[in-house]
Amino acid sequence: MQASHGGPKVKLKRTLTPAKLQMIALGGAIGVGLFMGSASTIQWTGPSVLLDYAIAGFVIYLVMRALGEMLYVHPVTGSFADFANYYMHPIFGYLTAWSNIFEWIITGTSEVIAMGTYCHYWWPSLPRWVPGLIAIVFLCSVNMISVKSYGNFEYWFSMIKVVTIILMIIAGLGVIIFGFGNGMHPVGVSNLWSHGFFGHGLKGFLFAFAVVIASYQGVEFIGITAGEAEDPQHSIVKAVQSTIWRIMIFYVGSIFVIVSIFPWNQLDAQQSPFVETFSKIGITIAAGVINFVVLTAALSGCNSGIYSTSRMTFNLASKHELPKSFTKINHNGVPYIAVLAVSIGIFLGLVLNIILPFFIKSSGKIFVMVYSAGILPGMVPWIVILISQMRFRKIEPQSLHNHPFKMPWSPFSNYGALAILFATLIVMMFNPDTQIPLLIGVIFLATFTFIYIIRHNKWRLINKKWFMNHFKWMHLKKSHHYSRDYLRYLS
């Protein structure tokens, strides 16, 4: 990908192998939203949170398939921002890129906040900001070295998460079916309904859905790595296919174990339910191991945040939306200025976490508020992906000939997924815990829309001249050549 359209070419290196890409895609979607966010969602809706995860998982399946269809033809770094830029309008590409940056900085901040909670399990007197600060410095250094270094660390971080979740599900089923760790008295699954399947009725079920769907945010991460993947077409298809069903099993399976083993209304909303469940039934060794794993998962999430946000920052700078210095890369092909800037952003989020307790006493509420602030910006890439894929089909119908990875049921599946996403935002307006985070997201998007309009003098977006230019461009698309040449240029 070029760093600028008028200067010398600056390219990122394609050093991510298919195996690393698959594990990174899994790791990007399995993080603090599952390990910490599930505490709040279980409290809101009880065992019916399983339905939330299943429905949200299906929406993500559609988003991933839409992204995969386009990536197979155009595997570019920061792909969905470029897709929005071309298939919709440059203002949407701009907002998508900044939304992704905001989302991942919020995610990274959430991860370092969670680290303090996890370390409190072993060191109750340790200030909760210390683990986060150590993690930021360490991960910034890792990302400065090379994308291969990042890939190696993220591969093993993700591997630890994935293997542990599998073992936890197996161990949990052992407790449920055979009574392992419970005096050989099978726990069964009666906790699913004995305390109410819908813990707080339909309202709780809907409130929980927003945080549940946000826990899947990061699955689109594969669209950021596309420009640095070896054999991108093969790698991307394989990663998308394997990631979707594995995430569904891990999310639904692990939550099923938690709400089956222990009464949902006795879980502490301020702790990780994964650790608390095994602690309360007496399997303290398992609880300690899982706490180590969720700490590793937090490192993984923050690592992914620094990587992906730095690449999207690089993408913006290459289009002259940020200072040219953000396109500078070291001898290993790493945009080091961007990596440093993102790390500083996450550090500022850590500082905010130190300040918030003076105003909000519950650490559980602080986590939900910080985490939820990224929900609306995090949805922007998904919305853009679903809309861009429909435009992609109209503009480049020839690309669908012999295409092995088409979006199923399009465009009806696109409309259905979009309807669910917009309905989720409406529900957030009525949940006291997500009203302020939603407002932050709205202000963020409004601010950057205003900045774009002022910066590019785009008032013609709403006047006759812009519509005339738009229809002229629509006529040019019929040749199909402009589209392909443009996206090849970006790659």
Q: What is the DSSP string of 390-442?
A: HHHHHH-GGGGTT-SSPPTTTTHHHHHHHHHHHHHHHHHTT-HHHHHHHHHHH
User: CA 99, CA 378: separation in Å to the nearest integer?
Assistant: 6
Helix 37-45 vs helix 273-280: angle between axes, to the nearest 10 degrees? 70
Q: Which of 6, 7, 304 is nearest to 151 (CA)?
A: 304
More confident residue, 243 or 263: 263
User: CA 490, CA 77: separation in Å to the nearest integer?
Assistant: 8
Q: What is the pLDDT of residues 144-182, one digit of tens each?
A: 887 777 777 777 877 887 887 888 888 888 889 988 877
Given a cut of 50, whether residue 8 has pLDDT beyond it is: no
User: CA 149, CA 16: separation in Å to the nearest integer?
Assistant: 10
Mean pLDDT, residues 68-95: 84
Residue 112: φ, ψ to 5°:
-70, -30
- Residue whose entry in the numeric block shows the structure tokens 């590793």: 296
More confident residue, 157 or 101: 101
Structure tokens at 276: 């608390």
Q: Are 322 and 342 in contact (CB under 8 A)?
A: no
Cis omega (within 30 of 0) on the bond before 411? yes
At residue 121, the pLDDT reads 83
How is residue 406 annotated by DSSP? P
Q: Are 88 and 388 in contact (CB under 8 A)?
A: yes
Question: What residues contact residue 319 under an 8 Å CB cut-off, 6+ apart?
Answer: 5
C-alpha neighbours within 13 Å on the C-beta side of residue 241: 12
Given a cut of 50, whether residue 188 has pLDDT beyond it is: yes
Question: What's the mean pLDDT when you consider all of the chain?
Answer: 80
Q: What's the full length of the chain, in residues?
A: 491
- Residue whose entry in the numeric block shows the structure tokens 């509420």: 365
- Fill in the amino acid letter for 172: G
- Rounded to the nearest 5 percent, the helix, strand and coil shares of the chain are 80, 0, 20
Global pTM reads: 0.81
User: CA 435, CA 126: separation in Å to the nearest integer?
Assistant: 32
State the burial class of residue 292 (Cβ atoms within 10 Å of its Cβ: 0-12, 13-18, 19+): middle
Question: CA geometry: angle at 299 spanning 277 and 127, to 5°?
Answer: 75
At residue 466, the pLDDT reads 47
C-alpha neighbours within 13 Å on the C-beta side of residue 455: 13
- Residue whose entry in the numeric block shows the structure tokens 């939203």: 33
At residue 5, the pLDDT reads 39
